[in-house]
Amino acid sequence: MTKALILDFGGVVTRTLFETHDITERALGLPAGTLTWRGPFDPSTDPLWVSMQAREITERDYWMTRTREVGAMLGEDWADMKTFVQRARGADAELVLRPEARDAILKAKEAGLKLAILSNELDLFYGVEFRKRFPLIELFDVIVDATYTKILKPDPRAYEQVIAEVGIDRADCVFVDDQLKNIEGAAAVNLPYVHFDVLQPAQSYAQALTMLGL
Task: Per-residue pLDDT tens, the chain, 214 aa: give them.
Answer: 799 999 999 999 999 999 999 989 999 999 999 999 999 999 999 999 999 999 999 988 999 999 999 999 999 999 988 899 888 876 677 888 999 999 999 999 999 999 999 999 899 888 888 888 888 999 999 999 999 999 999 999 999 999 999 999 999 999 999 999 999 999 999 999 999 999 999 999 999 999 999 9
Which pLDDT belongs to residue 82?
86
Domain locations in the chain?
A: 4-15+94-211, 21-92
Which pLDDT belongs to residue 90?
64
Answer CATH for 4-15+94-211 from 3.40.50.300, 3.40.50.10610, 3.40.50.1000, 3.30.2350.10: 3.40.50.1000
Which pLDDT belongs to residue 89?
77
Residues 6+ positions from 95 with CB-CB distance below 8 Å: 15, 20, 23, 89
Among 29, 25, 28, which residue's Cα sits nearest to residue 37? 25
Residue 167 zone, left/alpha/beta (φ > 0; ψ -120 to 50; rest): left
Cα–Cα separations (whole angstroms), residue 90 to 24, 69, 122, 132: 9, 18, 17, 14
Does the global pTM surpass 0.85? yes
**Number of Cβ atoms within 10 Å of the Cβ of 48:** 17
Complete DSSP assignment for 108-141: HHHTT-EEEEEESSIIIII-HHHHHHSTTGGG-S
Which pLDDT belongs to residue 54?
94
pLDDT in tens, 143-167: 999 999 999 999 999 999 999 999 9
Among 127, 162, 167, which residue's Cα sits nearest to residue 147? 127
As a whole number of angstroms, the distance between CA 33 and CA 197 comes to 25
